[in-house]
């Protein structure tokens, strides 16, 4: 991605906001960018035309009203069904020898037929008639899995299967079906990362290793496939790769004892070896004990401290951490910024803005802190760069004032405002 | 709907109440997001009746999955979007079995008003066809950012990409769409 492309993308995006709402015309929106008028006018005009021609309608009020009635009624029916006691169900028949024999024969027959069908289904590819059965069987395996670890292993395995299908489709030149395999792959990883949050109470080391090994394998396969697919299909492969990298980060963070809820989607990673839980602070979600950690005895919740009127409502940068991902050709840097109050508490909802100094780029990037007080900004790919610097230019919050002079970094890898990252040779 | 942190807090409260079994809270979530999800689905399936069916499936599936939902700083709409995408994959798979290619390519009546210009309708058909020729992620960013006019932040949350990546993706998508259209003339 060139600097020019990044700059034009930003202008295009900014102009779109005002054009799509009808505030200004295409020409008016580009008035401040005379050097880009020639290239961006046709794109903005096309965007406007696409919006006007293809904007989807709103749902009919009659559908909205009827649909919610149907949904709530089905939900109620389901809830009533699940509340119904099962103890009262008693079989009204008894086994007889003839029935046993017939049932056994039937079961053997069904098993013989279904084994053949299942084998055929397992060999099917997206778009084949038996593919639905294959996915159905996978869902059944998930349903009978007893633990989150088991579910996650299965999902990692299913993601591998999707990639095997992707390669088979490619070999068969069935390019039109590649999307289905990629969608399935991303769905599996989406489920995997979703479960990772719930599994924060403990993912056994064996499962973690298995999943990380699968994810590394996925990235190898995707890189291989990317070389073989037509150029038009490469962005979809890149997207799948991004999803895989994000899943890897989530699992690694979990493995290190971190909390995946700190991760914005595709946004962050904590450096290996970094102490994720500050001394004296328990990061385990309420009601959940981390594996290997003694469950604390519940104690009465103390009254929250009443802020004294003299307390300054200020915020500052508490920490900046950087991490490098990817190889030399596609390396990226991610910085995680922690924002704290003057009193030390984490700040939710602060907007952090900063810029990367990569080949003279002046682009500004922002992120919003979550409840952990953290958010992450990515550099984008930096092929061939030797180093990059990220500078925090502003921190805003609706209720607090930012005091840059208070910025700090306990690791010493930054001064709390600027961090320089040396990229590997 | 998207700019305020209050929306996220209100959603979190509704989700928590719905998880505790309060169906009215889920009804409120439905009312908040039904138009958004319906319009996204309609942008992908053309036929209103399909969009209605799939939207309903999305909310039913969401309800079923709600007890597993953990708020992780992502908007609830991103979760709904993922459920909608899965429902659409199932729909396409089902459609392949029942419809011929000709039927699948049948275009919707975009201009029900008989006075509306035939040229505009034809242009919409051309645009839709050109859009369908683009790589999946180009199509998706145009649907979300242009057709639904979602803010870049939300598109990023939905697609799991940074805002910068969304901007570049959109720029490339529009350039490719333009090339497709120029080539088709």
Decide the pairing of beta strands A401-402 and A314-325: parallel
Q: What is the pLDDT of residues A368-416, one digit of tens each?
A: 777 677 777 777 667 677 788 889 998 988 778 899 999 998 888 889 9
Q: Tell if the CB–CB gap between A236 and B135 is shorter than 8 Å.
A: yes
Over residues A269-317, the pLDDT tens digits come to 333 332 323 333 333 333 333 333 333 444 444 444 444 444 557 899 9
Q: Which residues have CB under 8 Å from A163's CB, separation 6+?
A: A181, A185, A218, A221, A222, A225
The reported pTM is 0.46
Q: Which residues is A365 bridged to in the sheet?
A: A354
DSSP secondary structure of B111-149:
--STTS-HHHHHHHHHHHHHHHTS-HHHHHHIIIIIIS-
B147: nearest CB among A16, A54, A234: A54
A16 token code pair? 């779109």
β A364-368/A332-341 pair status: unpaired
Collapsed DSSP state (helix, strand, coil) of residue A268: coil
List beta partners, residue A200. Answer: none
**Around Cβ B185, how many Cβ atoms within 10 Å?**
5
Q: Among B9, B174, B181, B183, pick the best mutation site for testing chain A contact (most A Cβ within 10 A).
A: B174
Percentages (nearest 5) of helix, strand, coil residues in chain B: 75, 0, 25
Nearest residue to A126 (alpha-carbon basis) of B99, B93, B84: B93
Higher pLDDT, B145 or A149: B145
Strands (E), A197-270: none
Rounded to whole angstroms, how far apart are CA atoms B106 and B52? 18
The β-bridge partners of A420 are A389
Look at residue A271 in the predicted model and tell me its pLDDT. Answer: 32
Which uninterrupted H or E stretch holds A333? strand A332-341
Under 8 Å between Cβ of A401 and A313: yes
**ipTM of this predicted structure:** 0.86
**Count, residues in chain B:** 185
What average pLDDT does range A44-62 have in this prediction?
Answer: 91
Domains and CATH numbers, chain B: 1-95 (1.10.1740.10), 115-185 (1.10.10.10)
SS3 A341: strand
Nearest-angstrom CA–CA distance, A180 and A132: 12
Under the banding of pLDDT at 50, 70 and 90, the label for residue A179 is confident
Interface of A with B in 15-54 (CB under 8 A): 16-17, 20-21, 42-43, 46-47, 49-51, 53-54
**How many Cβ pairs within 8 Å bridge chains A and B?**
196
């Amino acid at each position: 991605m060139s600097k020019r492309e990044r700059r034009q993308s930003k202008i295009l995006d900014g102009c779109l906001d005002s054009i799509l709402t009808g505030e200004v015309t295409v020409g008016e929106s580009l008035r401040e960018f005379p050097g880009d008028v020639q290239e961006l006018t046709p794109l903005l005009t096309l965007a406007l035309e696409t919006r006007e021609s293809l904007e989807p309608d709103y749902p009919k009020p009659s559908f909205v009203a009827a649909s919610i009635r149907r949904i709530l009624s089905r939900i109620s029916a389901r809830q009533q069904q699940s509340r119904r006691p099962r103890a009262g169900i008693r079989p009204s028949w008894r086994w007889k020898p003839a029935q046993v024999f017939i049932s056994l024969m039937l079961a053997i027959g069904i098993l013989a037929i279904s084994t053949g069908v299942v084998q055929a289904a397992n060999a099917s590819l997206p778009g084949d008639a038996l593919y639905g059965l294959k996915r159905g069987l996978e869902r059944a395996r998930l349903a009978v899995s007893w633990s989150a670890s088991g579910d996650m292993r299965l999902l990692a395995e299913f993601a591998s299967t999707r990639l095997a299908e992707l390669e088979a489709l490619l070999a068969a030149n069935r390019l039109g079906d590649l999307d289905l395999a990629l969608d399935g792959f991303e769905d599996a990883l989406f489920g995997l990362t979703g479960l990772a949050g719930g599994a924060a109470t403990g993912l056994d080391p064996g499962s973690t290793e298995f999943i990380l090994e699968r994810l590394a394998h996925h990235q190898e396969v995707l890189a291989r496939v990317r070389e073989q697919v037509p150029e038009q299909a490469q962005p979809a492969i890149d997207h799948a790769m991004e999803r895989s990298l994000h899943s890897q980060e989530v699992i690694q963070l979990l493995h290190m004892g971190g909390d995946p809820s700190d991760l914005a989607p595709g946004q962050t990673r904590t450096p290996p070896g970094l102490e994720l839980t500050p001394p004296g602070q328990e990061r385990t979600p309420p009601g959940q004990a981390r594996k290997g950690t003694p469950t604390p005895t519940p104690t009465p919740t103390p009254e929250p401290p009443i802020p004294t009127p003299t307390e300054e409502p200020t915020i500052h940068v508490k920490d900046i951490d950087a991490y490098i991902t990817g190889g030399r050709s596609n390396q990226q840097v991610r910085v995680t910024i922690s924002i704290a109050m003057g009193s030390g508490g984490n700040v939710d909802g602060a907007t952090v803005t900063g810029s990367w100094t990569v080949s003279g780029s002046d682009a500004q990037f922002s992120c919003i802190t979550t409840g952990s007080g953290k958010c992450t900004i990515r550099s984008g790919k930096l092929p061939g760069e030797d180093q990059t610097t990220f500078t925090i230019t502003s921190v805003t919050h609706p209720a607090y004032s930012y005091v840059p002079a208070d910025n700090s970094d306990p690791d010493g890898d930054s001064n709390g405002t600027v961090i320089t990252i040396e990229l590997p040779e | 709907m998207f700019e305020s942190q209050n929306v996220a807090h209100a959603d979190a409260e509704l989700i928590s109440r719905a998880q505790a079994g309060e169906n009215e809270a889920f009804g409120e979530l439905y009312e908040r997001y039904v138009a958004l999800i319906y319009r996204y689905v309609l942008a992908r399936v053309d036929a209103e009746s399909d969009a209605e069916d799939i939207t309903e499936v999305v909310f039913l599936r969401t309800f079923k999955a709600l007890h597993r939902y953990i708020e992780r700083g992502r908007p609830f709409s991103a979760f709904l979007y993922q459920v909608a995408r899965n429902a659409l994959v199932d729909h396409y798979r089902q459609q392949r079995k029942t419809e011929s290619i000709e039927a699948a390519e049948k275009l919707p009546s975009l201009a029900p008003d008989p006075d509306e210009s035939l040229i505009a309708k034809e242009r919409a058909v051309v645009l839709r066809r050109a859009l369908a020729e683009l790589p999946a992620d180009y199509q998706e960013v145009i649907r979300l950012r242009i057709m639904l006019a979602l803010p870049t932040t939300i598109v990023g949350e939905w697609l799991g990409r940074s805002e910068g990546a969304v901007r570049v993706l959109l720029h490339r998508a529009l350039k490719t769409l333009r090339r497709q259209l120029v080539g088709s003339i």
